[in-house]
Structure 1
Amino acid sequence: MKAMILSGGRGKRLRPVTDTIPKPLIRINNKPLIEWKINYLKKFGIKDIIICSGYKGKKIENYISKKNNFGCNIEYSIETTPLGTAGAIKKAIKNIVDDSFIVLNGDIITNINLKKMMAKPNCIAAIELRTNYGTMKIKNNKIIQFNEKTDVKNIWMNGGIYHLSTDIIKILPAKGSIEGIVFPKLAKKNSLNTVKFKNVLWRSIDSHKDVETCSKEMIQKKYMKFILKG
């Protein structure tokens, strides 16, 4: 099975670092995001990878080339103008010959079990909603419980990991968001599946604070050991 890593974003909230390097080369515990993603895929036996790049994409290619492609077969699908997640997938899907493929958002660090995803096509990894703010349980206008920075139980969010059928090309726009355009159509047809994951490492790297928090969480949850065992 092939996998796509969506790595075309500019990472504006990570400036000034991303003024000189693309977001996938932001380092988490001394390794770029893109390296963590490739090693993560290898952990599950996926070594055929398409990197969908755009902003400063040549720097990503140069880094991976210096690492001898990490023992993988790596191809590139390059956007000359931003296409959005759906457009990026549509552009790259011509390189997929199997019936289905994996898609990963390039700015996520996780230990979600991809094997559980592979059993269902047109499937989204779901994780419990997380908030960086304190949540409150209220009764009769009195706060009876206060939880600092916690998961919101039984509210599920899109984890940015997909197992998609190649048939999805029929409804992919040339430009736009798969989350905003394609997934609502599939959901309306009752054709969108999910696998729920609880108590997993999951962190989206959107800010400098995320880099710091993720680095600590990876060590605490022994994610680096999880990857190295692969």
Structure 2
Amino acid sequence: MHAVILAGGFGKRLRPLTDDRPKPLIEVAGKPIIEWQILHFKRYGISSFIFLTGYKWDVLAEWVSKNEKRLKISAYFSIEEEPLGTGGALKKVKEILGEQNEFIVTNGDVVTNLDFSKMDVKESVATIALVPLKSPYGIVETKDGLITSFREKPVLENYMINAGVYMMSPKIFDLLPDRGDVEKATFPKLAEAGQLKGAKFKDVYWRSIDTLKDIEEASSELPQVIPS
């Protein structure tokens, strides 16, 4: 099975760290985000990676070429000369992925230990991994107008969000735009047709690395949840 990593974004919110490298190469706990992703994929026997790149693609390609043998992976690159969106970028690699087997897609800024074996595309075209929403704010609980307790940034178990990890069937290629995001152009159509599943994961680690605070917090968390 191939793992496709969407690594073409500019990472503007993490500047100046992304001035000289793409976001997946930002280090967290001493390793680039992309290495944490590779380590977790390999736990499920996945060692073939396709990197969909754009911004600073040459820096990413250099890192992969230097570490490909150490990590025991095979790597392919698809380079966007201009932004195509996640849907357009995926459509470009149809020939590499083939028309027989499902494949996994993940955003290049996501670190997680969710169990990929619990995702499938039986009777669907794609499955989205869903994780509970962690409130960015503390919650204040009240009763009869009085404050009873404070909950610091709780996980809201009843509200699930898109984890940025997808299992896809090759059938998806018939629905991908030449330019545009799969999340906006394709997933709503699949949902309307009853061809989009959601796999819920509640007791997992998941974080999108978007800010300096995310880097700081994930640096203390990742070594405990993803074995090196």
Shift of 1:76: 0.4
Higher helix fraction: Structure 1 or Structure 2? 1
Which residue of the partner structure matches residue 80 of structure 2? 79
Change (3 A) 1:180 1:142: farther
Q: Distance in 1 between matches of 2:77 and 2:32?
A: 17
Aligned to 1:129, the other structure's residue is in SS state: strand
Which has the larger displacement, 140-149 or 68-77?
140-149
Partner Cα separation in structure 1 for residue 196 and residue 215 of structure 2: 32
Give the deviation of 1:138 after TM superposition: 4.5
Shift of 1:68: 3.0
Task: Give the letter aligned to residue 55 of structure 2.
Answer: Y
**CA displacement at 1:142 relative to structure 2:** 4.5
Q: Which residue of 1 aligns with 2:9?
A: 9
**Matched letter for residue 109 of structure 2:** D
* 1:51 matched residue in structure 2: 51
- Compute the displacement of 1:16 (Å): 0.6
- The match for 1:162 is 166
Is 1:88 paired with 2:93? no
1:19 matched residue in structure 2: 19
**CA distances 1:8-57 after superposition (whole Å, capped 9, x unpaired):** 00100110111111111100111111111122211110111101011001
- Residue 141 (structure 1) shift: 4.9
Q: Write the distance in 1 (CA, Å) between the matches of 2:194 and 2:128.
A: 13
The normalised TM-score by structure 2 is 0.92
| Compared CA separation, residues 145 and 56, structure 1 to 2 (3 A) | same
Q: Tell me by how many angstroms 1:119 deviates.
A: 6.0
What 5-or-longer segments of structure 1 have no aligned partner? Answer: none
Gaps of 5+ in 2: none
Label 1:135 to 1:81 Cα distance change in 2 as closer, same or farther (>3 A).
Answer: same
